[in-house]
Structure 1
Amino acid sequence: MLSALIWIPVVGALLIAVLPATVAASRVRQVAIAWSAIVLAVTIAIATQFDALNIGMQFQESIPWLDSLGLSYRLGVDGLSFPLLALSNLLTLIAIYCSDTSVQRPRFYYALILLLNMGVAGAFLAQNLLLFFLFYELELIPLYLLIGIWGGAKRGYAATKFLIYTALSGVLILAAFLGLTWLGGATSFEFDPLLSQTLPLTTQIVLLGAILIGFGIKIPLFPLHTWLPDAHVEASTPISVLLAGVLLKLGTYGLIRFGLQLFPEAWAVLAPWLATWAVVSVLFGAFTAIAQTDMKKMVAYSSIAHMGYILLAAAAATPLSLLGTVFQMVSHGLISAMLFALVGVVYKKTGTRDITILQGLLNPERGLPIIGSLMVVGVMASAGIPGMVGFISEFLIFRGSFPVFPVQTLLSMIGTGLTAVYFLLLVNRTFFGRLPEQFENLPKVPWSERAPGFVLAVLIVILGLQPSWVVRWTETTTTAMLIDFPTIAAKTLKSPSPAGILANEQFIIHN
């Protein structure tokens, strides 16, 4: 079933690519939607058979490939990767649905989106380090083309910058993988045997440093972030949905899977520095977002801030904070996808994203009242209003991180307040006030364009009211990942009673 998640999109891409050129763009879009829906259906089928209490990899598949290189086709899914896999397949369907029915070169466009979905799925499922690297690099090609061909006026610059940064990310990650296997004397790149491998602490720190910078570019964290705002501004709305909702999660997933899990001792040593790095990234992203006048760029910088929360929680490495990292990845994926989709509708109807020009769009007769209302919901969720998914993820992160890093946690909490500031500026300037004459009688927004926002809004509220629907998939896995970590942390960090923290947090999780 896991291979189906990889190869069904490939078959769909090939099918779309060979469609006759006379087929209308809207018809190609319908085929792509159907094919993406099949992938999501397979994901749901896996969910019905997924054992949330199993701490190991499930649905494993293993086929020998290039034994001389230590490369095998080995797949597996657990509580860390499954929620992200489901998020990816859901947002891929939404991104295709959001695409313009008259998009140019539709066969190439939709084939690339399906291939992008394949690369992301393969990266989340790979249980061989070299196989992960191949999928990690493979997804760069479709995304580069999607930005470079269907982007804005500066699409070539943005796409090239994205490619250079992410290629550097891949080089660092591959170097760390090679160093881990060669210096440890491993005969393959299989993930499980490497968990028990021991290396000198200095070597671990060097390799972990390469991992941190490599995935830090992908997340991205300050000051490795400069490619992200350009990519978002120039990318079309569906690609921004995928970039923020899915692609950034490859960085945070890799940080936990290949950083914390493979180098626990080095991680514990560097943890205070990582927590400080998280604070800098959170505050930089928030303050920079306040200064933006482009709606899309503001949401892009907010992503940098919210990704910093994940680094803080991973640095603390407590069961509650690590559970919060997964919840925050899901939460941010839904919220950012919703915000970018709504900004896309505003731009399509008004021709601008400048908040100094837009005003009064909440006007019930001549404005965009439904889109404005959905935007308010997304903004409230991003600001961590109780009852929405953003509140749950941030609560888990801050409550789990505070016992280990109280100062860094309090400073990061300032970022939550700043989120309310910059999004309040966006909503107040754009949707309230008097509607300018130039924007009166805007084109009506059909229900087909409202649907993605409604679907994401419903999920944001439901998971905010019932977070156990995500927690149940992840809790067992994230807790098991830290069984030995509290002992390591007690030796390397001057933190208060890690064993006590573990017992206390398990009580909180279950209540």
Structure 2
Amino acid sequence: MLSAFICLPVLGAVLIWVLPPGETRSRYIALAVTAATFIWSIVLGFRFDPADGAFQFQEALPWIDALGLSYRLGVDGLSFPLLVLNGLLTCVALYSTNNQVARSRFYYSLILLLNTGVAGAFLSQDLLLFFLFYELELIPLYLLIAIWGGARRGYAATKFLIYTAISGILILAAFLGLVLLSGTGSFAYEPLRTAALGLPLTAQLILLGAIVVGFGIKIPLVPFHTWLPDAHVEASTPVSVLLAGVLLKLGTYGLLRFGMDLLPEAWAAFAPWLATWAVVSVLYGASCAIAQTDMKKMVAYSSIGHMGYVLLAAAAATPLSILATVLQMLSHGLISALLFLLVGVVYEKAGSRDTQVLRGLLNPERGLPVIGSLMILGVMASAGIPGMVGFVAEFLVFRGSFPVFPTQTLLSMVGTGLTAVYFLLLVNRAFFGRLSPQVENLPKVYWSDRIPAIALAILIVVLGIQPSWMARWSERTTTAMVNNVEAIAHLAVKNPQL
């Protein structure tokens, strides 16, 4: 059942190249395959048991015994919601792609391979297999930025490649160290999970340090964030949707899965520093966003701040805060995808993203009233207005983290206020007032441009009103993860020689 998420997109990419070339044909094949994958994830949800916190639908096949590599897949309450999000946003990205995209067969094949890499990483129950998929998604994303990006696409793509390569090196070194020090001789997740508990605390701290920095680059956390604004500004709108909505979640997912869950004793020792690091990222990202005049760069910097909330909740490691990490990842994925979609429409119709040039786009006759209304909804959700999914996620982050890190939580709450400030500046400058002469006579916005954004907006409101539809899939898994951390930390206090 799980291999379908890996095989279907690959088969779709092969089919695109086997059949005669044609922009329309390639587009329809890619859309059909991603839609089928997304529908399959919904079907899987009907068979998924939320009351079972363990891995479900597991698949295991021997692969390269000499390396300790096996093909092991599984899904639990941490990975399943992200798997569904990956399918949904890939469909949105493909639907939003320009019908006249250059080198269409290559473009759609790369999107499908990117989907495969992300899905494989979320499903992998073997550390080396996870690393292979983690590196696989790097290649399509690099090419998507380098070929279909903006004027400085070469610089942005190369910077992304260098940062992500360093991230991969650190993660692989940590995985190799885990296997060698534990003596298991295998990269399988469950045996390592047990064996890692017997490692000395010093070794655990070193390994966790490499994991935290490696995945911290991917999230990204300050000061490893500089690749993200450049990548977003130069990437096309569909690629920005996938980058912010899904790919950044590989970093937070990796921290939870391979940091907190594999090395809980070291995680408990690292926690105060991680919470402080989260505050720095939240406040720095929000402060930089306030200073931007490019709408896309402003949304990019907002991602840095909002992903910091995930780190804060993960550091607290309470049942409520770890559940909040999943909700915050889903919330950020939906909201950032909506905002990047809308910024893309504004840029396509108005020819600018500069808030010093744009003005009055909410004009009902000559502006972009529907797009402006959806933008207001998106920024309200990002600022944590009640009734939307952003409020639910951030409230649970703060509520779950405050008992453990009250000072860091209060400082992070300042970031929510700053979010309202910079998005209020964006909306006030670009959408209110008299329509600026530079953007008069805007091209018509068709419903095909609005449908993806409207669908995401509906999800943001519906899940904000009924958050249990998200939480029920993850609550048992996240509670089990927290119990593991608490049990190991308690045992370490009672027996410091462990």
TM-score between both structures, scaled by the size of structure 1? 0.95
Q: Give the aligned residue type for 1:80.
A: L
CA apart distance, 1:486: 2.5
CA apart distance, 1:111: 0.4
Other-structure match for 2:351: 351
CA apart distance, 1:55: 1.2
SS state of the match for residue 3, structure 2?
helix
Other-structure match for 1:170: 168
Distance across 1 between alignment mates of 2:349 and 2:24: 20
Distance across 2 between alignment mates of 1:65 and 1:353: 49
Other-structure match for 2:20: 20
Distance across 1 between alignment mates of 2:108 and 2:484: 45
CA apart distance, 1:194: 1.2
The reply to whether residue 131 of structure 1 matches residue 156 of structure 2 is: no
Other-structure match for 2:245: 245
SS state of the match for residue 473, structure 1?
coil
Distance across 1 between alignment mates of 2:439 and 2:357: 10
Of 57, 60, 66, which aligns to 1:59? 57
The reply to whether residue 274 of structure 1 matches residue 271 of structure 2 is: no
Instruction: Give the 5 Å matches for 1:435-446.
Output: 435-446=435-446
Distance across 2 between alignment mates of 1:195 and 1:27: 46
Distance across 1 between alignment mates of 2:269 and 2:221: 20
Instruction: Give the 5 Å matches for 1:210-225.
Output: 210-225=210-225
The reply to whether residue 316 of structure 1 matches residue 321 of structure 2 is: no
Instruction: Give the 5 Å matches for 1:39-438.
Output: 39-197=37-195, 198-438=198-438
For structure 1, the residue ranges without an aligned partner over 5 or more in a row are 494-511
Aligned positions, number: 491
Q: Give the aligned residue type for 1:109.
A: Y
Distance across 2 between alignment mates of 1:157 and 1:14: 30
Note the alpha carbon deviations across 1:304-333, whole angstroms, 9 max, x for none.
Answer: 000000000000000000000000000000
CA apart distance, 1:492: 7.8
**Given that residues 269 and 492 in structure 1 are in contact (C-alpha distance below 8 angstroms), is that contact kept between their aligned partners in structure 2?**
no
Note the alpha carbon deviations across 1:64-119, whole angstroms, 9 max, x for none.
Answer: 00011110000000000000000000000000000000000000000000000000
Other-structure match for 1:31: 29
CA apart distance, 1:487: 4.1
**Given that residues 339 and 375 in structure 1 are in contact (C-alpha distance below 8 angstroms), is that contact kept between their aligned partners in structure 2?**
yes
**Given that residues 50 and 473 in structure 2 are in contact (C-alpha distance below 8 angstroms), is that contact kept between their aligned partners in structure 1?**
yes
Q: Give the aligned residue type for 2:43.
A: A
Distance across 1 between alignment mates of 2:330 and 2:25: 31
SS state of the match for residue 250, structure 1?
helix
- Call closer, same or farther: CA 1:252–1:34 in 2, change over 3 Å: same
CA apart distance, 1:17: 1.9
TM-score between both structures, scaled by the size of structure 2? 0.97
**Given that residues 218 and 251 in structure 2 are in contact (C-alpha distance below 8 angstroms), is that contact kept between their aligned partners in structure 1?**
yes
Q: Give the aligned residue type for 2:247.
A: L
RMSD: 1.0
Q: Give the aligned residue type for 1:44.
A: I
**Given that residues 57 and 76 in structure 1 are in contact (C-alpha distance below 8 angstroms), is that contact kept between their aligned partners in structure 2?**
yes
SS state of the match for residue 361, structure 1?
coil
Q: Give the aligned residue type for 1:460.
A: I
Note the alpha carbon deviations across 1:382-425, whole angstroms, 9 max, x for none.
Answer: 00000000000001110000000000000000000000000000
CA apart distance, 1:35: 1.3
**Given that residues 357 and 438 in structure 2 are in contact (C-alpha distance below 8 angstroms), is that contact kept between their aligned partners in structure 1?**
no
**Given that residues 165 and 217 in structure 1 are in contact (C-alpha distance below 8 angstroms), is that contact kept between their aligned partners in structure 2?**
yes
SS state of the match for residue 196, structure 1?
helix
SS state of the match for residue 433, structure 1?
coil
Distance across 2 between alignment mates of 1:117 and 1:491: 41
**Given that residues 268 and 488 in structure 1 are in contact (C-alpha distance below 8 angstroms), is that contact kept between their aligned partners in structure 2?**
no
Note the alpha carbon deviations across 1:122-174, whole angstroms, 9 max, x for none.
Answer: 00000000000000000100000000000000001100100010010000000
For structure 2, the residue ranges without an aligned partner over 5 or more in a row are 494-498
Distance across 2 between alignment mates of 1:53 and 1:17: 43
Other-structure match for 1:501: none
SS state of the match for residue 353, structure 1?
coil
CA apart distance, 1:490: 5.4
CA apart distance, 1:26: 3.1
CA apart distance, 1:488: 4.4
